[in-house]
A and B are shown apart, each in its own frame.
Chain A
Amino acid sequence: MNARLEAPVFDLAIVGAGPAGMAAAVEAAARGLAAVVLDEQPAPGGQIWRNIEASGGRASLGGSYAKGAAHAAAFRAAVADYRPGTLVWHVETADHEPARLWLMQGERVGQLRARRVLIAPGATERPVPVPGWTLPGAMTVGALQTLLKGAEVVPSAPVVLAGNGPLLYLTAVQLAACGARIAAVLWTAPPGAWRGAVPHLPGFLASGTWRAGLGLMRDFRALGIRVVRDVAAIEITGDGRAEAVRYRTAGGASGEIATGLVALHEGVIPATNLARAIGCEHLWDEAQAAFRPRLGPWGQTSVEGVLIAGDGGGIAGADAAPLAGRLAVLGAAHALGRLTLPERDGLAAPLRRDLDRILRGRAFIDRLYPPRLARAALPDAVVVCRCEEVTAGAVRGAVASGAQGPNQIKAFLRCGMGPCQGRFCDPTVTRLIAEARGVPEAEVGQFRLRPPVKPVPLTAFAAAGEEVA
């Protein structure tokens, strides 16, 4: 018999239990939707509030972290079907039919169906390819933070942080509070960035986020860490592993700092892998220098029945994400006939007001902390794709021999075909093509992604037996 038809059908499947996904689950429960929440992590919280329940919102990680505890508690109280440790590795869609979600739980493949799928995948760090970035000892600030929050691992050797953005300040403060030593911060935001940001200052002030921002900067200054400003280029050097970092400022000053641990960070970009594998249309966001999905007012993507909320739809932060998650659920509840139009709009009005206020503040942050190393001229020898070890020079060579877009680069060089599915090289490949062809990134586009979004063992299908067929 065809067991496929028996896969349970939910009103709503929420992928991700971070700020957006948790709030969406609470809203879905309030609207009486049969919802399921799927998250790869073992516990709710997403990136920003990772491990929040077990850690009890450790004070050393700061107030913005502690806030997550209340969200997690509300989520636990409301959610009926929450499946931690569940990777959603593909979503099959067809018009006018419930979507089919392919899952990986433990060592087993599973599936379920849902009339609406809300993806709340959060953000991923912008890759910062600089010479030496692939050496052991070079990592991202996010990876360092994950160690702090999850395993509570504190690096013993002095760390150099390079890049810019609020998360860099935050990590420095968290590291110091945990007892780590920070040798220096190589700060890459150009001093002139202020001028571009000032027109957006009123919005930022109105958004209220400035309070937390100012507090963070005060805490950072109080650490008395050595900060090298206006850094325009860095290079991580070492024999087989990071041993030092060299830098050059826009003013021409240069220096070298001995360190075995360099953490890079120039902001975050939407995590779009799943949405792209589904086929959702994406567009280039110039202000954030990143691609994001094209979304309607209720988080609707270009694919029927698939919604996106939170940073995965465009970077707006942990205060905006819950609002976007709830709005998407209200839109879905109306589409499924559970709310009338006036009910939906009535419930949505205060949420949208708050969200708009926060979004107005975002433009200021975007202007103040533009990516710099991640947009700087890339030497030919730098590895762009870590899985297939493709260099910037190879990408330029392929463009010269006729590759017009990322998918041709993939076919020419296997770049982006490795297990990471292009997560580390995607923005860089698009940028290199755009530079070489002299056209905007919007025109170049991105890799076409193929499921699964993460590797799936063959035996996981066998373990599932006929249930999945």
Chain B
Amino acid sequence: MNTADVIVIGGGIHGCSTALHCRLRGLSVVVVEKDHVARHASGVNAGGVRRLNRHPAEIPLAMASAALWQRIEDLVHDDCGYRQTGQIRVAEGEPGLAAIAARRRLVEGLGYSHEQWIGPEELFELVPAISRHCLGALWTADDGHADPTRTTRAFARQAAALGAEFLTPCRAGMPRRAGGGWQVPTDRGTFSGAQVVNCAGAWGGAVAAALGEPVPIEPIAPMMLVTARMAPFVDPVVASFDRMISFKQSPNGSVVIGGGWRSRAEPDANRAHVEFGELHRLIGTTLDLFPVMRGARIVRSWAGIEGAMPDAIPVIGPSMTAPGVIHAFGFSAHGFQLGPIGGAIVADLVESGATSLPIEPFSIARFAGQAWREAS
């Protein structure tokens, strides 16, 4: 029989990062991925490496992850296409300005200073192409963006170079108890390990449910648009407090537009649809914010399958029902930036059962029994 210290279900960025950090601590690892590494959210996301406007509970993790992004090349021997261009979130009207004021109170109250207010003049200097109706923005100078497929593959490659075993394409069945540890049946035989990590993304809920702790996860399909290449005109990633948009120009000149517009996800069929009736509004916002886009042509669109939790933060931490199982799934459309630290947290938990980062808010216990339904 095949054995390892840790069996990871899922070859997205969180599974691959977990494999790497476990290997760095000398633990033996098998990653079981039903499709191929980076096939889903981790390979098709917008590549935003963003702390700006994160959920308060995520800020400490995002800070720790940002530190790893700064030295990503040391970690995975690839620069991952990471560019520290800054991220900006503009206010287009009074509601946006009010949102900025509230956000500043919240973030400063927590003792952080990474989100800076910039007035219109500074904004137009940073982003000359942006429409002059914008009133100001929050700005995090050392956020940026990276190439999602390249990043996820780099984590997998480095983990494999250090001895992690990757089984792809290979579906994992549900983990079952065996002696003091766990068995995971797969397309390539049964694997047994002391611990199992659930990094199954949108499919993570199925694993949790099989262990007797169902969660209200929703498979979602955020949509993206890409244009033909254009002459460089914008450096930072731009979002808005007033409307749903995320806007960036890739190093190759194409413009990548998203911002959380959702369509239908069919996780069982590995399918996510694109619905242009929805995207119509995103296109309108794009033209409003960047007049230069009047010359742009859409060449491609896509949607990726992601797991969203009702409170928009992931499940990270030990199972409540199955000792030896650790969850890290449901990153709710912003888990790419957290990839580098996510694996380190899981490796901490595998090694010692604890981590120095504050992960209590992410516990699966928040959904236990009636607790969630009553709270919501």
Docked-complex contact B228 and A455, CB < 8 angstroms? yes
Docked-complex contact A462 and B287, CB < 8 angstroms? yes
Chain A 411-441, CB within 8 Å of chain B: the 1/0 string? 1101001110100000000000000000000
Q: Considering only CB atoms, which chain B residue lies closest to A455 in the complex?
A: B297
Of B36, B252, B293, B299, which one neighbours A419 at CB under 8 angstroms? B299
A459 to B372, CA, bound (A): 45
Docked-complex contact B227 and A452, CB < 8 angstroms? no
Q: Considering only CB atoms, which chain B residue lies closest to A90 in the complex?
A: B276
Chain A 245-285, CB within 8 Å of chain B: the 1/0 string? 00000000000000000000000000000000001000000
Q: Interface-forming stretch among B116-124, B209-217, B235-243, B278-286?
A: B278-286
B84 interface residue per 8 A CB criterion:
no
A312 to B219, CA, bound (A): 34
A20 to B252, CA, bound (A): 41
Grouping DSSP codes into helix (H, G, I), strand (E, B) and loop, the A interface class, with mixed when no group exceeds half, is mixed
**Which one of A90, A279, A412, A458 has the greatest number of beta carbons of chain B within 10 Å?**
A458
A124 interface residue per 8 A CB criterion:
no
Known: A408-B36, A458-B227, A458-B296. A451 touches B301 (CB 8 A): yes
Contacts of B276 in A (CB 8 A): 90, 92, 102, 451, 468
A180 interface residue per 8 A CB criterion:
no
Q: Considering only CB atoms, which chain B residue lies closest to A3 in the complex?
A: B277
Known: A419-B228, A450-B274. A459 touches B294 (CB 8 A): yes
A71 to B293, CA, bound (A): 43
A469 to B293, CA, bound (A): 20
For the complex formed, measure the closest distance between the CB of B336 and the CB atoms of chain A, giving whole angstroms: 15
A135 to B122, CA, bound (A): 47
Docked-complex contact A456 and B297, CB < 8 angstroms? yes
Contacts of A111 in B (CB 8 A): 277
Docked-complex contact B298 and A455, CB < 8 angstroms? yes
Q: What bracket does the count of chain B residues touching chain A fall in?
A: 20 to 34
B177 interface residue per 8 A CB criterion:
no
Docked-complex contact A461 and B302, CB < 8 angstroms? no
**Residues of B251-286 whose CB lies within 8 A of A:** 252, 264, 271, 273-277, 280-281, 283-284, 286
Contacts of B294 in A (CB 8 A): 458-459
**Residues of B275-318 whose CB lies within 8 A of A:** 275-277, 280-281, 283-284, 286-287, 293-294, 296-302
For the complex formed, measure the closest distance between the CB of A437 and the CB atoms of chain B, giving whole angstroms: 14
Docked-complex contact B298 and A456, CB < 8 angstroms? yes
Docked-complex contact B284 and A462, CB < 8 angstroms? yes
B194 interface residue per 8 A CB criterion:
no
A452 to B293, CA, bound (A): 17
The interface on chain A, measured as residues whose beta carbon lies within 8 A of the other chain's beta carbons, has a size of 31
Contacts of A102 in B (CB 8 A): 276
A100 to B149, CA, bound (A): 32
A452 to B225, CA, bound (A): 10
Contacts of B47 in A (CB 8 A): none
B38 interface residue per 8 A CB criterion:
yes
A421 to B286, CA, bound (A): 23
Of B280, B287, B299, which one neighbours A469 at CB under 8 angstroms? B280
Chain A 391-414, CB within 8 Å of chain B: the 1/0 string? 000000000000011001001101
Contacts of B43 in A (CB 8 A): 411
A305 to B293, CA, bound (A): 36
Known: A92-B273, A411-B43, A450-B274. A458 touches B297 (CB 8 A): yes
A73 to B145, CA, bound (A): 57
Chain B 23-43, CB within 8 Å of chain A: the 1/0 string? 000000000000010100001
For the complex formed, measure the closest distance between the CB of A418 and the CB atoms of chain B, giving whole angstroms: 7
Contacts of B252 in A (CB 8 A): 414
Q: Considering only CB atoms, which chain A residue lies closest to B255 in the complex?
A: A458
Of A94, A417, A459, which one neighbours B287 at CB under 8 angstroms? A459
Docked-complex contact A462 and B283, CB < 8 angstroms? yes
Docked-complex contact A450 and B149, CB < 8 angstroms? no
A4 interface residue per 8 A CB criterion:
yes
A457 interface residue per 8 A CB criterion:
yes
Contacts of B273 in A (CB 8 A): 92
Of B274, B283, B300, which one neighbours A421 at CB under 8 angstroms? B300
A398 to B109, CA, bound (A): 49
For the complex formed, measure the closest distance between the CB of B254 and the CB atoms of chain A, giving whole angstroms: 9
Q: Considering only CB atoms, which chain B residue lies closest to A279 in the complex?
A: B271
Contacts of B36 in A (CB 8 A): 404-405, 408
For the complex formed, measure the closest distance between the CB of A182 and the CB atoms of chain B, giving whole angstroms: 37
Of A411, A418, A450, A468, which one neighbours B277 at CB under 8 angstroms? A468
Docked-complex contact B149 and A412, CB < 8 angstroms? yes
Question: Taking beta carbons and an 8 Å cutoff, which residues of B are in contact with A?
Answer: 36, 38, 43, 149, 227-228, 252, 264, 271, 273-277, 280-281, 283-284, 286-287, 293-294, 296-302
18 A-B residue pairs with Cβ-Cβ distance under 8 Å, sorted by A, are A90-B276, A92-B276, A100-B277, A111-B277, A404-B36, A411-B38, A411-B43, A411-B149, A419-B299, A450-B274, A450-B300, A450-B302, A451-B276, A457-B298, A458-B286, A458-B293, A458-B296, A461-B280
